[in-house]
Structure 1
Amino acid sequence: MYARILVATDGSNLSKKAVTSALQLAATCGAELIALKVVPRYPSAYFEGSIPLSADEIGRIEKQWSESAQAQLASIEKLAKAKSVACKAVTVKSDAVSDAIIATAKKHKAELIVMASHGRKGIKRLLLGSETQQVLTHSHIPVLVLR
């Protein structure tokens, strides 16, 4: 059915459920799993909502975010290994999460994107945006959304 499945994670409990489902699907299909974590860059301008920090401090924060992403992906790789699923962990640094997910899926020739949706509605969705909605709208490959 699928040879490569990309699962996008943000580390939330809902995202962990999506990872579990993607692992089960990959095991069933005999597919390779591509585990993706998109890491943002630290806002560098006052107008982007940042607190003025030194370059060293920003570097420390971004390094911490990157290390956290690596730890999350390592736990997914461990789960995949336990299910005998080939898994490739990918960390991408980008502020445009949906674009990074789609680009990574294309780059790794994924045939399915699996991700969670928090199901926000109304003003929360307007203010917080919906990365899932953006992926659904712009992806040319199938997207499985879990809630």
Structure 2
Amino acid sequence: MYERILVTTDGSELSRKAVIEAIALCRKLGAELYLLHVVPRYPMSYFEGGSALEAGEVSRIEKQWADHGRTIVDQAAKQAEESGLVARAVVMQSDAVADSIIAAARKHRCSLIVMASHGRRGLQRVLLGSETQHVLTQSEIPVLVLR
């Protein structure tokens, strides 16, 4: 049924739970696991009072974020491999997180996307946005949402 499963992780407690569930699902199905962390680009603000950094400093910060993301997915991949799975760690850099999740699932020919959701409702969801909601509405690949 599901031969390749992509799970997103940002290192939070909730996403670590999603990784554990995805590992269990992959073990039951004999599926490969892809672990994805999307690193945002450094925000460039041109508004009054905004602090502009030199390009070298922005690059250093973005590399630090990417290295941190790599650590997150590598640790999760190690956890999956200790469970006997084939696991691949993927880090992407983009401000369009949901679009990156869908693109990664397509690129790696995943048949299921597993994500965690904070379950925000109402105004909080409108103000904070919902990457999970975007993936749910835009993906042609089935999505399993865990809370």
TM over 0.5: yes
Measure the CA separation in 2 of the matches of 1:95 and 1:46. Answer: 17
Shift of 1:141: 1.1
Aligned to 1:67: 67
Shift of 1:10: 1.3
Shift of 1:45: 3.3
Aligned to 1:44: 44
Structure 1 residue 35 and structure 2 residue 35: aligned? yes
Aligned to 1:128: 128
Structure 2 counterparts to residues 1-147 of structure 1, below 5 A: 1-47=1-47, 51-147=51-147
* Secondary structure at the counterpart of residue 77 of structure 1: helix
**What amino acid is aligned across from residue 72 of structure 1 in structure 2?**
I
Counterpart contact for 1:43–1:50, Cα < 8 Å? no
Q: Percent identity?
A: 58
Shift of 1:50: 5.7
Give deviations 1:8-54, integer Å, cap 9, x for gaps: 1111110000000000001111100000000000012324x963111
Computed over aligned residues only, the root mean square deviation of the Cα atoms, in angstroms, reads: 1.3
The TM-score, its normalising length taken from structure 2, stands at 0.95
**What amino acid is aligned across from residue 15 of structure 1 in structure 2?**
S
Measure the CA separation in 2 of the matches of 1:50 and 1:70. Answer: 29
**What amino acid is aligned across from residue 34 of structure 1 in structure 2?**
Y
Count of residues in Structure 1 that have an aligned counterpart in Structure 2 = 146
Change (3 A) 1:107 1:76: same
The TM-score, its normalising length taken from structure 1, stands at 0.95
Counterpart contact for 1:4–1:112, Cα < 8 Å? yes
